[in-house]
Amino acid sequence: MKSRKIEICFSTSFKILLLSAVVFSYWLIGGCAAIEFLTPSGAPSREQLIENYNKVELGRSSASDVLSVINLPKYELLSQSQKVIASTGKKKKGYAQWFKLVAFDENAAAARRKYFFIVDEKPKALFAEPWARAEFYSDIILEKEVLDKPYANENSSRIAILKHFLTTFHKDIDEVTSDNELFPTCRGLVNQGLNAALQKLKASPAEAAKLDKRNGLEFEHISFDKGRIRMTIDRDILTLEMKLGSV
């Protein structure tokens, strides 16, 4: 038994020494880049941000409900207008930045639309080029006139509703764009992605049939190389998910 314990201790010690040697080698070669790569990003986590976003219920959450869950005061700045409540944040190293936004209509006391966007540019592998990824999620309640409007076919309907979503998103985020420097940056990235998808659909409308499929529609993106978007409609709720880059 004694020899067994010695073997285990030696194996563990060897692994620690090996890891230390690897880290030291990375430090010699990469310096600060290696240290930053090995350092955790810190709070808040992506999962924590999504959890806050998910607490907002369309058609139920009031403005006070939203204010109680959307903002993490330690990490985020709160912005408000007459129709919008939003929260933005940025990691200390600047790799990740995000926003959560909830919109109301004038004659509705409960939330009608919500959006969450996060972009992370921390390298995925040491010494690699900046590794960017972005995620955008949204749920909105569609107006009856949008749903009842006659379209030539199902694909035309999907494309028209995606265009309507983009216009609605612009109106909502523009309520607070001037309040924080992160809003224009994030707005631009989301806009690039949605317009890239629409450009592909303009060239090939039949591709719209992929929007509600499990893998969604893939498209090329000027800043992130590639992107994928999925859009589904359940009764009057449109759910949109877009991922850009190495996601």
Structurally, how many domains does the chain consist of? 2
Tell whether 31 and 122 lie within a shared domain. Answer: no
Tell whether 134 and 237 lie within a shared domain. Answer: yes
Domain, as residue range, for 190? 41-245
**Residues facing 137 on adjacent strands:** 116, 241
CA distance linking residue 104 with residue 83, whole number of Å: 5
Alpha-carbon Rg for the chain, nearest whole angstrom, is: 22
Tell whether 30 and 105 lie within a shared domain. Answer: no
Tell whether 92 and 202 lie within a shared domain. Answer: yes
The first and second tokens of residue 62, run together, are 């009031």
Tell whether 180 and 215 lie within a shared domain. Answer: yes
CA distance linking residue 139 with residue 239, whole number of Å: 5
Residue 77: closest CA among 99, 52, 103:
99
pLDDT tens digit at each of 247 positions of the chain: 443 343 444 455 554 555 555 445 544 444 444 444 444 456 799 899 999 999 999 999 999 999 999 999 999 999 999 999 999 999 876 579 999 999 999 888 999 999 999 998 765 554 455 456 899 999 999 999 999 999 999 999 999 999 999 999 999 999 999 998 999 999 999 999 999 999 999 999 999 999 999 999 999 988 888 999 999 999 999 999 999 986 5
CA distance linking residue 177 with residue 157, whole number of Å: 30
